[in-house]
Amino acid sequence: MGVSVSVLASGSRGNSALVESSSTRILVDAGVSCRETFKRIKGLGEDPHALSAILITHEHSDHVYGLLVLARKLKIPVFMTAATHQAWSRAVREATGDRPALDKLECFEAGRGFQVGDIAVMPFTIPHDAVDPVGFTFRVEGAKLGFATDLGRLLMNVRDHLRGCDVLVLESNHDVEMLRNGPYPWSVKERVGSPTGHLSNKQLAEFLANDYDGSAAYVVLAHLSEQNNHPELAREAAEKALGSRQTLLHNRVLLAAQAEAMQPIRL
């Protein structure tokens, strides 16, 4: 079977991805409904009941919308930081009046690695306007996979964690011009473009052109804004940045979508 990565959904209306080894299957974020998550996993020819654990990056609804129902249905461990758990519980309580109970809650801390089956997980802090947001790297069967979306900047600690990855799932949220001229109210534009907001095509391209180590066979552009970006603009910016470095021509740029699951990347 080997290692595979599938982005099930990506964007401000819900995020979720599947990271698999021969024996372990992790759902990274649960931002779409349980029903839709199941549908997309089955669409890839996989069994949602075979999931081993759910990992949560932060409490924003586009990352936790389906969490409670998924956790109740699957009865598998849910990993998040204690602060994220608290913020999520409060939000659910305010919305429903009920304190959400997770049977198998596992709290982790950014910077401290842990194991899910045979997958070694390393959570790391990212700059984003949530209580304790993280990105992840996963190491298994000799491969390293890096996930960093929902971040306003690529700080040095993030760049360090992303070195040596065979697959990178990185945010390419908005085109700066489209955001500036787009329909969002000024306060939202400010938030998205701030150092704790979302990464632009340009910021990602700068990283790819100047600081990226070139290790990834696949660079997946994720969390694209439907209002303030266009998939071809994001792709063009990333490919141009990679193309500026001869040694990176083997890197493939893929686009994660909101409406449908991406075909799995198999290593």
**130 three-state secondary structure:** coil
Binding mask 126-155 for Zn ion (x = CB under 5 A): ------------------------x-----
Sign of the four-CA dihedral 189, 185, 64, 266: negative
Which of 25, 40, 60, 174 is the binder for Zn ion (CB under 5 A)?
60
Shortest CB 130 distance to Zn ion, Å: 6
Q: Which amino acid is located at 194 in the chain?
A: S
User: Cβ distance 26 to 18 under 8 Å?
Assistant: yes
Nearer of residues 50 and 95 to Zn ion, judged by Cβ: 95
Nearer of residues 27 and 267 to Zn ion, judged by Cβ: 27
Nearer of residues 40 and 223 to Zn ion, judged by Cβ: 223
Shortest CB 122 distance to Zn ion, Å: 20
Place of tokens 């758990």: 85
**Radius of gyration of the chain from Cα atoms?**
17
Q: Is 62 in the site for Zn ion (CB under 5 A)?
A: yes
> Rounded to whole angstroms, how far apart are CA atoms 59 and 50?
24
Shortest CB 34 distance to Zn ion, Å: 18
Place of tokens 């654990």: 53
Q: Which amino acid is located at 89 in the chain?
A: S
Q: Is 29 in the site for Zn ion (CB under 5 A)?
A: no
User: Cβ distance 9 to 40 under 8 Å?
Assistant: yes
User: How many residues form the binding site for Zn ion (CB under 5 A)?
Assistant: 3
Q: Is 198 in the site for Zn ion (CB under 5 A)?
A: no
**Interacting span for Zn ion (CB under 5 A) from 62-70, 199-207, 225-233, 244-252:** 62-70
- Both tokens assigned to 132: 């304790």
Binding site for Zn ion (CB under 5 A): 60, 62, 150
